[in-house]
Structure 1
Amino acid sequence: MSQVPIYALSDWGTTRFRLWLVDGAGNVLGEKRADDGLDVSRVKGFASVLEGHLASLSAPSDLPVVICGMAGSRQGWVEANYVPVPADLNAILVGAVKLPDMARDVRIIPGLCQLDDTPNVMRGEETQLLGAILDRNLSSGIIAMPGTHSKWVELKQGRAKSFGTYMTGELYALVSQQSILRHSIQNAAESASANHPEFIAALKSMLAGNSLLGQLFGIRAAMLLNDLKPEAAASRLSGLLIGAEIAGQKSITNNRIVLVASGAMATLYGKAFDVAGLDFDLVDADEAVRKGLFVAASGIWPNVKGNFK
């Protein structure tokens, strides 16, 4: 494995910043993770944040950088316009925006948008999607990418045909931390368990067609009347929201699903798919976004190998 980086890859989200230095085969030579997401970087300055993290990894001054995520949003560093679906994901390379007034070559990848009767956008997940497609050599199927705003993408003949967004992660954070249910969940928001009976019961309730709004307050009532513990409350809330998300996908879940997730999300959604009787393959989300970024960088700078000292 070469110890010389040829690209820097960055996934720049709303709250988190991730950076990898990679060699010509995509092997990781250095990595940084920080809470320098969109909001923080707007205050600190995007260029300052990026250069600071590159310097901490001793990156060469002329190392090119490719970025996906919220750094390319309207509120970000420079807006990278959306590519409409249906789209070949390689089209994102054509739309990569070069940052002006930078000593090094820095490009931001555009997101995807849907312009029909159900308008939708994604930014950052398109790169993860590209990596997952390459990882599984997919041409058609359903790709699920859980997170703050979960994405479900229909892939047909190598093109992203359509996609939907579910605010599952954001709703979980809001309800568990700011609603009346915060008294039931307390400090256990991170303790939702895929194997907890309350998680499974909540999933089954949503998959059976029950109302999410009609079930939420039951968490509060169960605490008051049945001494429902915080971990159980967190597990039930997670099951309700994930179950509602999956139930909303009934029209396209006859296919085998590719689940792009890591850590707790992989465990929770994997269990939920099992309970729902859905076949799936798991792709690590970190590896997928890194692979997508590497392919993007290789397409933008195909002749850089060996140029850096």
Structure 2
Amino acid sequence: MAPDGADHDLMAAHLAEFDAMVATALADEGGSWDRLFALRAAVVTGQRDGAATAARLSGLLIGAEIAHIRRSLDGVVSIIGDPSLAALYARGCDSAGINHTILDAEAVTIAGLGSAARRLADIPTGT
């Protein structure tokens, strides 16, 4: 399960750890999965604390996701979600040189539901 916004807010103290792992994943084109086990081992053996490791893990996963999609991008990426998590994706996009915009998740959802309702209202009911 993905961490919630509060977890990402706590990670703010470890943004350098996050940025380092984004850079690692981008440089490795997202193939850094062996690092997942190294991160877990570092926590289990007491070499790293949980908060720093959470930041590194988020950086690795977000960086790998961005590395995977960046070759197929041909425009601005829209980031929709929890503001804290969206800010981390924006940091990752900045590191990869990807243009992006953050959209308010609630506003986008309401607009989408409104559009769907208008389309449904135009469908004849057939009698």
Q: If the TM-score is normalised by the length of the shorter chain, which range does it land in?
A: 0.7 to 0.9
Does 1:247 pair with 2:73?
no
The aligned residue for residue 256 of structure 1 is 76
Q: Distance in 2 between matches of 1:198 and 1:222?
A: 14
The offset of 1:256, in angstroms, is 2.1
Aligned residue for 2:79, secondary structure, equals strand
The aligned residue for residue 290 of structure 1 is 110
Aligned residue for 1:193, secondary structure, equals helix
The offset of 1:228, in angstroms, is 1.3
The offset of 1:288, in angstroms, is 0.4
User: In structure 2, which of residues 74, 83, 96 is the aligned counterpart of residue 276 of structure 1?
Assistant: 96
For residues 1-309 of structure 1, the aligned pairs below 5 Å read 170=1, 172=2, 190-191=7-8, 193=11, 196-209=15-28, 211-223=31-43, 224=45, 227-301=47-121
Name which one, 1 or 2, has greater alpha-carbon Rg. 1
The aligned residue for residue 159 of structure 1 is none
Q: Distance in 2 between matches of 1:293 and 1:243?
A: 31
One-letter amino acid matched to 2:109: V
Greater strand share, structure number: 1
The aligned residue for residue 125 of structure 2 is none
Identity of aligned residues (%): 33
The offset of 1:247, in angstroms, is 0.7
Contact 1:259–1:280, Cα closer than 8 Å, also in 2 = yes
- Deviation per CA, 1:208-237: give whole Å up to 9, x if none: 016332111221343326x31111111111
Aligned residue for 1:258, secondary structure, equals strand
The offset of 1:268, in angstroms, is 1.2
The offset of 1:283, in angstroms, is 1.0
The aligned residue for residue 28 of structure 1 is none
- Deviation per CA, 1:52-101: give whole Å up to 9, x if none: xxxxxxxxxxxxxxxxxxxxxxxxxxxxxxxxxxxxxxxxxxxxxxxxxx
The offset of 1:254, in angstroms, is 4.6
Q: Distance in 2 between matches of 1:283 and 1:266?
A: 9
Q: Distance in 2 between matches of 1:220 and 1:259?
A: 28
Greater helix share, structure number: 2
Q: Distance in 1 between matches of 2:103 and 2:80?
A: 5
The offset of 1:266, in angstroms, is 1.2
TM-score (norm. length: structure 2): 0.77
List alignment gaps of at least 5 residues for structure 2: 123-127
TM-score (norm. length: structure 1): 0.34
Aligned residue for 1:269, secondary structure, equals helix
Q: Distance in 2 between matches of 1:260 and 1:193?
A: 20
Contact 1:212–1:241, Cα closer than 8 Å, also in 2 = no
The offset of 1:295, in angstroms, is 1.4
